[in-house]
Amino acid sequence: MSTSALLTARALILLQLLSRLLTFGLNQALVRLAPPEVFGTAAIQFDLICSTTLFLSREGIRNALLRSPITPHSGKDKSSRRAQDRRQATMPFWLGIAVSALTVTIYLTRLPLSTSRQKDFHLSLALYVVSALLELGIEPHYIRALRNDPPKIRVRVQAEGGMAITRAVTTVGCVVLFDRLGRGGPLLAFAVGQAMGAVWLVGRYVLEFGTEGLLWSSLDMGEKRFNDATTSLALANMRQSVVKHVLTEADRIAVGIICPLEDQGGYAIAMNYGSLVARIIFQPLEETLLLHFSSAPTSPSSIRLLTLAVRLSAHLLLLLPAFLPPLLPALISLLLPRRYLSTSAPEILEIYLKAYIPLLSLNGILEAYHAATATPAEVKTQIKWMIASSFGFVGALVVNAKSVRWQTEATLIYASCIAMAIRIIYALLHAQRRARECGSELRVGSIAPRKAVVVVAAASGVLIRWLAGKARWENGWKGRGELILAGAVLGLGTLGAVGLSEKRDVQEVWRVKKE
């Protein structure tokens, strides 16, 4: 991997680590201050409106622009292409106005009175929408920072890290302040925090790049507004984004429709904990791989890197189911407030971590490669597979509709896993096809964990289950600490086995990338 890509990965992971650890601590305080109903409204319903507006408005255009290198040799052509890209980068804001208006209209028409009667509900909803539009308004500067040579990672780290921290600090502060003043409720505190985070993001980018070209860019006489190739790819990506977003958020959509607010809060807090690892490691890794694969899509070294990344990710399918079920009961009272223990949060957290997180990691890596290498025709094919995965999601819900073994929220997670697995199969087939075109090979055996690691993980899982089965941890903090310590020691030993088995391949990929 290039030096700039390595710096990107390191900076992004550090950004996510510091900001998420801080927000994790603040959220620990927040869930103890806000009731489950408020947490469900903010983290499930309002956050879903924001993510829908952001994803559908910018994802397709962003990926197309990041895959659009400035190739013309003449200064005039290069300047024209840059101007076209700047104009294209302003479109997410205008699309966001339409998408948010449509999304909010649909949401309000289907809203139960028990939700809309919450204190400051409509004002809070408006602040969430404004925060999403502020993020979309700064999109041209985001593209500019990433396409700069070298990328201005420092700006992004400060902007996004500061946004996460500002959002968390403001929310906790407002919850406490509003309670003392007797004005405003917890829901408004969430909304103010969301808006202030977006203000920080905008302020940091504007401080670096100014305000020119943010919402509109002028057009010279005889000049085309957009580049045809980039527009074609953006449209293909946007069609894909609609299907992808519905599938990605299907569980939250269903939870928001069929579950009471209290259970939505339990689901939200479980997802918040479960996604901590995903946001610290997976998201920056996927973005870094996307940048690298976009710069060298047909290089054999990219296939080596993809193989290594997928195999490392596949270890989660082995490690999390081995360690999590016996350890989580001893940890759950440390993670969740008492009033959340009676909700679906404990069960959802276990399922999300042991099943959904490993698949999310695999899918993110493979879809990053697909996004960097797929033609518009292949994007259309992916849409068909995504539609097939949606049928898998619905089919899983139908099959389990009369099951009494799982709660509704648990069934939704398992159904999402089935849909995710179908997407992984397509992305893997695409990667194998590209590998053959590059004269390489991406075999299933090459991306599976080594046998020695499987043996160590299985033995560790059996041992930790035996220790948990003795139930010493139920008798007090001493027994609980012993179990957690044993799990940590066995986990580190298993990770050591992974490191030894992958050391040679990591060194080889590193050597090839440096050359």
Q: How far apart are CA 82 and CA 75, in angstroms?
A: 11
Give Cβ neighbours of residue 57 (< 8 Å, ≥ 6 apart): 92, 93, 95, 96, 99, 136
Six token digits for residue 66: 């990041």
Q: Judge if 366 and 289 occupy the same domain.
A: yes
Q: Judge if 392 and 344 occupy the same domain.
A: yes
CA atoms within a 13 Å half-sphere pointing along the CA-CB vector of 10: 7
Q: Judge if 228 and 281 occupy the same domain.
A: no
Residue with more model confidence, 306 or 219: 306
State the pLDDT confidence band at 129, using cuts at 50, 70 and 90.
very high
What per-residue confidence (pLDDT) applies to 2? 53
Q: Rounded mean pLDDT of 476-490?
A: 87
Q: Judge if 234 and 254 occupy the same domain.
A: no
Q: Judge if 261 and 211 occupy the same domain.
A: no
How far CA 254 is from CA of 48, 212, 224, 355, 416, in Å, comes to: 11, 41, 43, 19, 11
Q: Judge if 393 and 487 occupy the same domain.
A: yes
What per-residue confidence (pLDDT) applies to 422? 93
State the pLDDT confidence band at 513, using cuts at 50, 70 and 90.
low
Residue with more model confidence, 101 or 21: 101
Q: Judge if 231 and 292 occupy the same domain.
A: no
**Number of separate domains in the chain:** 2
Q: Rounded mean pLDDT of 95-109?
A: 95
Q: How far apart are CA 273 and CA 386, in angstroms?
A: 27
**Which residues span the domain enclosing 405?**
249-515
Predicted TM-score (pTM) of the model is 0.73
Residue with more model confidence, 28 or 312: 312
Domain final residue, candidates 226, 243, 260: 243
What per-residue confidence (pLDDT) applies to 19? 66
What per-residue confidence (pLDDT) applies to 23? 63
Say whether 181 sits in a helix, a strand or coil: helix
Q: Rounded mean pLDDT of 360-375?
A: 88
Contact 284, 15 (CB under 8 A): yes
Q: How far apart are CA 487 and CA 482, in angstroms?
A: 9
The angle at the Cα of 468, spanning 465 to 474, to the nearest 5 degrees, equals: 165
Is the pLDDT assigned to residue 202 strictly greater than 80? yes
Q: Judge if 162 and 285 occupy the same domain.
A: no
DSSP state for residue 407 in the 8-state scheme? -
Six token digits for residue 265: 């809060």
Q: Judge if 309 and 225 occupy the same domain.
A: no
Q: Judge if 256 and 239 occupy the same domain.
A: no
Domain final residue, candidates 243, 262, 279: 243
What per-residue confidence (pLDDT) applies to 270? 74
Q: Judge if 287 and 219 occupy the same domain.
A: no
What per-residue confidence (pLDDT) applies to 475? 76
Q: Judge if 353 and 497 occupy the same domain.
A: yes
pLDDT digits (tens, 9 = 90+) for 292-348: 787 776 677 788 888 888 999 999 999 999 999 999 888 887 777 777 777 777 888
Domain final residue, candidates 201, 216, 243: 243
What per-residue confidence (pLDDT) applies to 5? 54
* Range with lowest mean pLDDT among 69-73, 117-121, 138-142, 172-176: 69-73
